[in-house]
Amino acid sequence: MQLELIVQDDSLEAPVTDNSRAIALTIARAVIGGVAGYILFTERGRELRRQFEPALDNFARELNSFRVTIEKAAGVATEGWKVLNEAMESGSQASRYPTLHQKSPF
């Protein structure tokens, strides 16, 4: 039986420095700026933006409709909890304080 000793040399890995992060961030910002410039200042970019605006308006309307639906569902759930709590309270009060007279449904 042979045991192997594995030594990990941390100096072989290239550490990510703040400088390389700054370079990556600068490149990302340059790409975002290029896309923004294309969309805002070129004719094809304007056409693309004009096609995109109605889709964004529809999406905003759908989100608003969804929000209203969620608010209604929350209101129904709240009302359901109120009814349930009232029923539980009235049931527990009846068992705590029994009446002296039996009531018959007949």
Residue 102 lies in a domain: no
Instruction: Establish if 63 belongs to a structural domain.
Output: yes
> For residue 60, is it within any domain?
yes
Task: Report yes or no on 2 lying in a domain.
Answer: no
Is residue 67 assigned to a domain? yes
Asked, for residue 15, whether it belongs to a domain, the answer is no
Higher pLDDT, 6 or 39: 39
pTM: 0.46
- Report if residue 3 sits inside a domain: no
Q: How many domains does the chain have?
A: 1
Mean pLDDT, rounded, for 37-66: 94
Range of the domain at 53: 23-95
> Does 12 reside within a domain?
no
Are residues 39 and 45 in contact, defined by beta-carbon separation less than 8 angstroms? yes
- Confirm if 85 and 79 have CB atoms less than 8 A apart: no
Write phi, then psi, for 12 (nearest 5 degrees). -75, -25
For residue range 60-70, list pLDDT tens digits in order: 999 999 999 99
